[in-house]
Amino acid sequence: MLFASCAPETCARRTCPPRPRPAGHPGSDMTAHSFALPVIIFTTFWGLIGIAGPWFVPKGPNRGVIITMLVATAVCCYLFWLIAILAQLNPLFGPQLKNETIWYVRFLWE
Amino acid sequence: MGSMFRGEEVALVQLFLPTAAAYTCVSQLGELGLVEFRDLNASVSAFQRRFVVDVRRCEELEKTFTFLQEEVRRAGLALPLPVGRLPAPPPRDLLRIQEETDRLAQELRDVRGNQQELRAQLHQLQLHEAVLGQSHGPPLAAAHTDGPSSERSPLLLPPGGPHQDLKVNFVAGAVEPHKAAALERLLWRACRGFLIASFQEMEQQLEDPVTGEPTRWMTFLISYWGEQIGQKIRKITACFHCHIFPFLEPEEARRGALQQLQQQSQELQEVLGETERFLSQVLGRVQQLLPAGQMQIRKMKAVYLALNQCSVSSTHKCLIAEAWCAVLDLPTLQQVLQDSSSEAGVSAVAHRIPCQDMPPTLIRTNRFTASFQGIVDAYGVGRYQEVNPAPYTIITFPFLFAVMFGDVGHGLLMFLFALAMVLAENRPAVKAAQNEIWQTFFGGRYLLLLMGLFSVYTGFIYNECFSRATTIFPSGWSVAAMANQSGWSDAYLARHSLLTLDPNISGVFLGPYPFGIDPVWSLATNHLSFLNSFKMKMSVILGVIHMAFGVILGVFNHVHFGQGHKLLLETLPELIFLLGLFGYLVFLVLYKWLCVKAADSASAPSILIHFINMFLFSSSPTNRPLYHAQEVVQYVLVVLALASVPVLLLGTPLYLLRRQRHLQRRPAGGQDEDKAKLMDSDACESGWGPDEKAGCSGDEKEAELIASEVFMHQAIHTIEFCLGCISNTASYLRLWALSLAHAQLSEVLWAMVMRVALSANLRVGVQAVVLVPVFAAFAVLTVAILLVMEGLSAFLHALRLHWVEFQNKFYSGTGYKLSPFTFAAEDE
């Protein structure tokens, strides 16, 4: 069940062949996730739906209900996403992985 | 369709219907379904009302219709549905319809009677034929010998003598199969030794003329000797209701009789055929007449029942009716009345009258909003012009359901199922389905559609698709960085089966996952530690916001009913209490998320301990404060919250009592003025506000406030609110509990069913074949357990959260619906 391309014997060396790494991230070449960018994107997105959307609802008997639905959807979905991202902003502990998982994820997710 | 924000304005109208045109007017009103009649003759019994004779005639006609319907159904024909909308017929047509129906019913009865008789006769003939036709060996054989053989002769009688010239007689007949054994036994016991009986089943089945069931009769032939035996046998067979036929000894005579019988039965069958043809003709006429007639008479009866609720004016020239009508429909009402009474000289009029009773609630919905209004109304129909929770429920109910159900795969299945129902909703086959469970699902198709859609969204946030996580974005945790910096060689890994990533090491945690929960957590063994903390805090945040929204909706009620004092004396203390305590808890959660970093994780403060200490006014030395001056802030908030309780408890009652005392102390002239002013503002709008009870009688004095009642009511409200705050906030934790249960069930199903099949080390071809039944099992269990059972469970809990935790902040639900007088419900 070990990942076929990375048998333990070939990786007995402590270090893998050096690869160019972005500065500040020793040991991996994964780029950091920014926090500001998703916040801006999603705030804009749900803001458009919840604040700008109501202006474009055509006049008719159902206008009030549709506006209520748009605003409620925007508030609920934005809030839910925001809670999810804030909860992971400053983790106090990390995931505990099985050694099998570590063996393959360490090379798979790079 | 008006706005759903609050119910429409409904007015009490008084209708003056001229006697000649009253029937037409009411019939037209029934077609349109505009008004709800109030019963003005409530004290009069049903038998003493004005139109009781007409109602009775309609009921008799309905009885005849039921008889005709039963006959049609018995013949196996179906009644076609009535075509088009037929109005209630004018009273003079009633006689005509009655005559026609009675005539048809009589014809039908006659023909049926004839048919029964003919069938019975045919049955007899057929039995007779069978009896004669079948050969019964032993009795006939016995007839050919002279007298009984010696072994059969009774021992006690002297031999010889009277035996030798005994003649053998026969009794032949037919008996029902289940009685045959009993008959045989009884014959043997009673007449043993003096008869020979033979029972045989008929070859063909005959239809019983009464019940129509095919049965096989048993024919029997008894040969006996002795007069007394013969009498005994006849009595016994008569007891068993057997049919006895004459049996002629000579063979040729029997044959001749048989031929005659066959001829008779043939003729009879021809006559029967004619009768049945005529019967089907009559039934055809019934089929044509019945549907329209039934609908018309139903409408007529409804109109007379409505007319019975009207009172007669003193001049006996017109009927007076009182009805509830939506204010927006008043012009239509006037128009309809004028049109209907144009033939009569005087036209019917309607005008609005003031009312003291609480009017019914009318909220117009379309097929989309109807299901959401339905689940709000299932708890209780709102009071007149109370704020309606339904427009918000359209989104918050599917959202809270989705929080408990979040899974992309399951949500997608639910969405597609609902989409199929919505797209097929206009097909007649779908509408005509009778299955109740299908009707329930079909009625809630828009609800299911939204629930599925939101579940897909929350599934993406929870990062679960049939319990599997997806890496749409790269994960924010770098295992390689951890491994390289902690020296996790392969030997080290082989020794340690579980290792934890440490966010304090640089490069391990690269930032929060941009959309949802990081996929690394689905690989982690301690994923529940993280998810539980996340989901519990999420539940509390959503709960406090939902409840605060409910309290704010109450503001609209207070403003609309002119109870401005409640804004200051109720809403403000409620908000202070709720937000000061539980809003502060939300603040603590957010603060900790934003400001306590991984570097401080060893000494991270516990929100729970802080919250408990806040109420106990103490502190734990090992729990460091989250921010500077936290103790002071908490102290202030608790004091404010405690201070708001007596305001909530005593504010409104004291204010109301003081106002009443003010009025009573004023001089008489000013008193009427004040009373009039108060009447205007209070009576018609706030007379049925939650606190004051304006009676339907007595408009001379304002509602008498009984001090003890007002205080009691407010005390109950205060206790309910304050204790409710705590318990309701905790109640929102079911969002966490159910989403955990769903995730775990989903995970177990995957691990125990699909993964076993996918990781079985079989040859490729064999594994593919094995996967098919395993996938079938997975699919069936997914639908049955995760979609149906968990879906119903999450539906129920989301409903409870709305009905109790959200609605008890502002909604009383003690009104009644406007149920207009309409024929539409009866047409279905």
Chain B residue with CA closest to A83: the answer is B538
The C-alpha atoms of residue B500 and residue B492 are separated, in whole angstroms, by 13
Look at residue B685 in the predicted model and tell me its pLDDT: 43
The answer to whether the Cβ–Cβ distance between B525 and A97 falls below 8 Å is: yes
Q: Residue B166: pLDDT above 70?
A: no
Is residue B300's pLDDT more than 80?
A: yes
Rounded mean pLDDT, B361-374: 93
CB atoms within 10 A of CB B26: 28
* Residue among B405, B363, B478 nearest A30 (CA): B478
DSSP single-letter state for residue B49: S
What gap in Å lies between CA B15 and CA B475, rounded to an integer?
73
Interatomic CA distance for residues B174 and B169, integer angstroms: 17
| DSSP state at residue B334 | H
User: Which of B173-177, B526-530, B691-695, B748-752 has the weakest average pLDDT?
Assistant: B691-695
pLDDT of B243? 83
- Whether residue B601 and residue A92 make contact (CB cut-off 8 A), yes or no, is yes
pLDDT surpassing 90 at residue B380? yes
Closest among A82, A83, A77 to A46, alpha carbons compared: A77
- Residue A28: the pLDDT is 54
Q: Would you place residue B143 in the very low, low, confident or very high pLDDT band (cuts 50, 70, 90)?
A: low
Name, of A68-82, B427-441, B498-512, B806-820, the range with top average pLDDT.
A68-82
Question: Is residue B459 within 8 Å of residue B401, measured between CB atoms?
Answer: no
Rounded CA-CA distance B306/B15 in Å is 13
Q: For the segment B754-794, what is each residue's pLDDT rounded down to a tens digit?
A: 998 888 888 888 998 999 999 999 999 999 999 999 999 99
Rounded CA-CA distance B639/A14 in Å is 61
| Local structure of residue B544 (DSSP, 8 states) | H
Which of residues B135 and B307 earns the better pLDDT score?
B307
Cα–Cα dist B734/B719, whole Å: 23
B692: confidence class by pLDDT, cuts 50, 70, 90: very low
Partner residue opposite A69 with nearest CB, options B395, B474, B529:
B395
Of B92-96, B210-214, B355-359, B692-696, the range with the lowest mean pLDDT is: B692-696
pLDDT tens for B321-337 read 999 999 999 999 998 88
Cα–Cα distance for residue pair A64/A74, rounded to 1 Å: 16
The answer to whether the beta carbons of residues B291 and B79 sit under 8 Å apart is yes
DSSP B112-124: HHHHHHHHHHHHH
Q: Is the pLDDT of residue B157 over 60?
A: no
Quick one: closest CA in B to A27, which residue? B481
- Tell me, what's the pLDDT at B558? 94
Q: What angle do CA B30, B34, B35 make, to 5 degrees?
A: 90
Tell me what the mean pLDDT of segment A29-51 comes to: 89
Segment B556-574 shows an average pLDDT of: 93
Q: Which residues partner with B36 through β-bridges? A: B324
Considering only CB atoms, A33 lies closest to which of B471, B501, B512, namely B512
Q: Chain A residue with minimal CA distance to B533?
A: A87
What is the structure's pLDDT at B180? Answer: 84
Q: Which residues contact B63 (CB under 8 A, 6 or more apart)?
A: none
- Across B671-693, b (16+ Cβ under 10 Å) vs e yields eeeebeebbeebbeebbbbbbbe
Question: What are the φ/ψ torsions at residue B275 (nearest 5 degrees)?
Answer: -60, -40
C-alpha to C-alpha distance for B168 and B552, rounded to whole angstroms: 105
pLDDT at B85 exceeding the cut of 80:
no
Measured between beta carbons, which residues in chain B are less than 8 angstroms from residue A80?
399, 403, 457-458, 461, 538, 542
* Global pTM value: 0.81
Question: Do the Cβ atoms of B541 and A37 come within 8 Å?
Answer: no
Q: Which tokens belong to B572?
A: 């403000």
**Please, what is the end-to-end C-alpha distance for chain B in angstroms?**
23
Is A80's pLDDT higher than 90? yes
State chain B's mean pLDDT as an integer: 86
> Distance from CA of residue B218 to its chain's centroid?
52
Q: What is the pLDDT of residues B602-643, one digit of tens each?
A: 889 999 999 999 999 988 888 889 999 999 999 999 999 999
- For chain B, give the percent of residues with pLDDT over 70: 91
Check CB contact of B496 with chain A, cutoff 8 Å. Answer: yes
- The confidence score (pLDDT) of residue B142 equals 61
More confident residue, B802 or B347: B802
Query: CA-to-CA distance for B513 and B471, rounded, in angstroms?
Result: 10
Q: Over the stretch B273-288, which tens digit does the pLDDT of each residue have?
A: 999 899 888 888 888 8
Q: Which of B172-181, B261-270, B379-388, B612-621 has the lowest mean pLDDT?
A: B172-181
- Ordered structural domains, chain B, with CATH: 10-108+285-352 (no CATH), 119-135+166-274 (3.30.70.2750), 370-407+458-661+708-809 (no CATH)
Instruction: Give me Rg for the CA atoms of chain A.
Output: 23
Whether residue B402 contacts residue B454, with contact meaning beta carbons closer than 8 Å, is answered with: yes
Task: Kindly state the tokens that stand for B747.
Answer: 């995970």
| Shortest distance, CA B8 to any CA of chain A (angstroms) | 14
Residues B12 and B289 sit within 8 Å (Cβ to Cβ): no
SS3 B610: helix
Q: Do A65 and B369 touch (CB under 8 A)?
A: yes
Answer whether A99 sits within 8 Å of B496, measured CB to CB: yes
* Length of chain B counted residue by residue: 828
DSSP bridge pairs for B350: B15
List pLDDT tens digits, range B244-269: 888 877 788 888 888 888 899 899 99
Q: Do B461 and A30 touch (CB under 8 A)?
A: no
Tokens 């207070």 locate to: B558
Residue B131: closest CA among B8, B25, B310, B254: B254
Q: What is the DSSP letter of B477?
A: B
Task: Tell me the one-letter amino acid at B502.
Answer: D
pLDDT for residue B402: 97
Q: Are B13 and B322 in contact (CB under 8 A)?
A: yes
What residue has token string 């009675």? Answer: B102
Residue B828 pLDDT > 60, yes or no?
no
Find the residue in A nearest to B600 (Cα): A92
- Whether the predicted pLDDT of B233 surpasses 90: no
Binary contact (B537, A83; C-beta < 8 A): yes
Q: Quick one: which of B317, B388, B384 has its CA closest to B355?
A: B384
**What pLDDT, on the 0 to 100 scale, is given for residue B138?**
66
Among all residues of chain B, which has the CA nearest to that of A91? B598
**CA of B660: how far to CAs of A92, B313, B653, B657, in Å?**
60, 40, 11, 5
Banded pLDDT at B430 (limits 50, 70, 90)? confident
Whether residues B594 and A79 touch (CB distance < 8 A) is answered with no
The residues that bridge with B11 in the sheet, in sequence order, are B325
Note the pLDDT of residue B191: 78
HSE-up of residue B824 (Cα within 13 Å, Cβ side): 9
Tell me how many degrees the CA angle B686-B691-B697 measures, rounded to the nearest 5. Answer: 65
Closest CA to B209 of B117, B273, B130: B117
Per-residue pLDDT for A11 more than 60? no
Mean pLDDT calculated for residue range B581-590: 96
Secondary element (H or E) of residue B36:
strand B35-38
**pLDDT tens digits for B183-223?**
888 888 887 777 888 888 777 777 777 777 777 788 888 88
Phi then psi for B435, rounded to 5 degrees?
Answer: -60, 125
Residue B463 has pLDDT above 50, yes or no: yes
